Amino acid sequence: MTQHRTRFLVISLVLSALFSAASWLAAQARREAPEPDSRYKYESVFHETLQRVREAYVNEVDDRQLMAGAYEGAADALGAFAVYVPAEQVAEYRRAKAQARRDNGLFLVRERGWIYVAGVEEGSPAETAGFERGDLVAKVGGEPTRDLQVWQIEAHLAGHADRPVAVTVVRQGENHELKLEPAAAAAARPAVRVETVSGIPVLRIGRFESDTAAAVERELRRLGPAAGKLAVDLRGTVNGDPAAAFEVADLLLAGELGTLKAREDVQKRFAASGEPVWRGQMVVLVDRGSLGAAEVLAAALKQGAGATLVGETTFGHAGEQKEVELASGAVLELTGAFYAGPDGELLDEGLEPDVEVDERSRRLGERDLDIDELILRRGVGVLAGEEQKKAA
């Protein structure tokens, strides 16, 4: 009996010591700050913020509305093309995505809670209405855009394809009331064309579609080898398929063209099918409105053919979107992979021009030129050798 009592006493003391040590360690963990980059730290801050809002905000808050805003904010932090769609809006979202996008030439982006015009296609109803890149969209059809996503605005515009839509934009601090006419009211200029500026051929690519490469090839063969210099104009080119941009790159360089990467995994490789259709000195004209497929082509020509980039830093997003369904029934649309040029660097940041054109770079006699015209002149000047002379 004494041995049993002694054994029981020893076991009890050991267990008590273990429980005491565990309690002490737990208390220490609560007192010590979590690791700077630990997920626990961020979750703790989130829960504390949520609790403080519930306790201190002037009115009672709707938890569902508060959480929806938090989810939207998290998606917004991922970039301009990430979207959170609540479960109750998924059906509407699916219908909007399946519906043919209204071809009005207006390309909108939502970033940091603001919806703004990232691009305006030449000859489109949007250009006719007076939209400009950088306009903040305040109202569509009289409805404020603060709580709207881009897909909701596009669905609204598609639903009014037979009549004009009133749009209020903010430009340089002033409101402008614009009227976007139906797409049939204006005929867009050809997506691919060649113009001659100061003796230099300028190949304009307004968008990238399935037939863009064929149209570019026709223009290049028309120019022939005698034209040893070429400016490829991608200013304001926001629409199109990156795969079509690689098809155009195939006409102008040989070897590796680029890849599509998801983190470190290469999902697709793009390589030239043979020798270029045209060879010579190239300049690529870019601006903040050069996005997606335009950035794919600009990177390929710069890295694979030694082209000189002239203009502004590009938008900085050439990715492939994918949808993730959440357990709640909500949908998260985000970038699942990014394209890269021949050097393998992801196109998730803007391409820096070799010859930067901005307000500070204006010279005497250029004060009255808008930035688009200035980029064109500088690009043509590089090919003509004028920029080197002026620099010297």
* Mean pLDDT across the chain: 84
Is 102 a residue whose pLDDT tops 90?
A: no
Instruction: Identify the residue with better confidence: 358 or 31.
Output: 358
Q: What is the DSSP string of 258-323?
A: EEEEETTEEEEEEE-SSS-S--SEEEEEE-TT--THHHHHHHHHHHHH-PEEEES------EEEEE
Domain boundaries, the chain: 103-185, 192-320+336-391
Residue 54 confidence (pLDDT) above 50: yes
pLDDT score of 13: 47
pLDDT at 213: 96
Which residue would you say has higher pLDDT here, 264 or 218?
Answer: 218
pLDDT of residue 75: 78
Decide yes or no: CATH 2.30.42.10 for domain 103-185: yes
pLDDT tens digits along 220-229: 999 988 789 9
C-alpha to C-alpha distance for 219 and 321, rounded to whole angstroms: 32
Q: What angle do CA 348, 353, 359 make, to 5 degrees?
A: 115
Integer Cα distance of 167 and 145 in angstroms: 10
Burial of 203 (0-12, 13-18, 19+ CB in 10 A): buried
Which position has the higher pLDDT, 90 or 2? 90
pLDDT in tens, 157-214: 877 777 889 999 999 999 999 999 876 644 556 789 999 999 999 999 998 999 999 9
**Which of 375, 361, 356 is CA-nearest to residue 197?**
375
Smallest CA-to-CA distance from 256 within 268, 243, 269, 245 is with 269
Among the residue ranges 66-70, 100-104, 137-141, 196-200, the one predicted with the least confidence is 100-104
C-alpha gyration radius of the chain? 28
Confidence class of residue 112 from pLDDT cuts 50, 70 and 90? confident
Residue 186 is predicted with a pLDDT of 45
**Is residue 155 within 8 Å of residue 93, measured between CB atoms?**
no
What's the pLDDT tens digit per position in 303-351? 999 999 999 999 999 999 999 999 989 999 999 999 999 999 999 999 9
124 vs 121: CA distance, rounded Å = 6
The per-residue pLDDT for 15 is 44
pLDDT value, residue 18: 45
**How many C-alpha atoms does 233 have within 13 Å on its Cβ side?**
25
Helices (H), the chain: 2-31, 39-56, 63-77, 90-98, 125-129, 150-158, 212-223, 242-250, 293-305, 371-384, 386-391
| Cα→Cα distances 143→107, 156, 162, 341, Å | 19, 10, 19, 41
Q: How far, in Å, are 83, 139, 269 from residue 331 at the CA level?
A: 8, 25, 29
- Per-residue model confidence (pLDDT) at position 392: 45
CATH 1.10.10.350 for domain 192-320+336-391, yes or no, is: no
Tokens for 13, please give them.
Answer: 């003391």
Owner of token pair 């009331």: 177
The residue behind tokens 């950035």 is 295
Query: Could you tell me the pTM of the whole model?
Result: 0.82
* Tokens encoding 166: 């009133």
Convert the pLDDT of each residue in 232-286 to its tens digit: 999 999 878 999 999 999 999 999 999 999 977 999 999 999 999 999 999 999 9
Select from 321, 356, 363, 361 the least CA-distant residue to 339.
321
**Residues pairing with 265 in the sheet:** 262
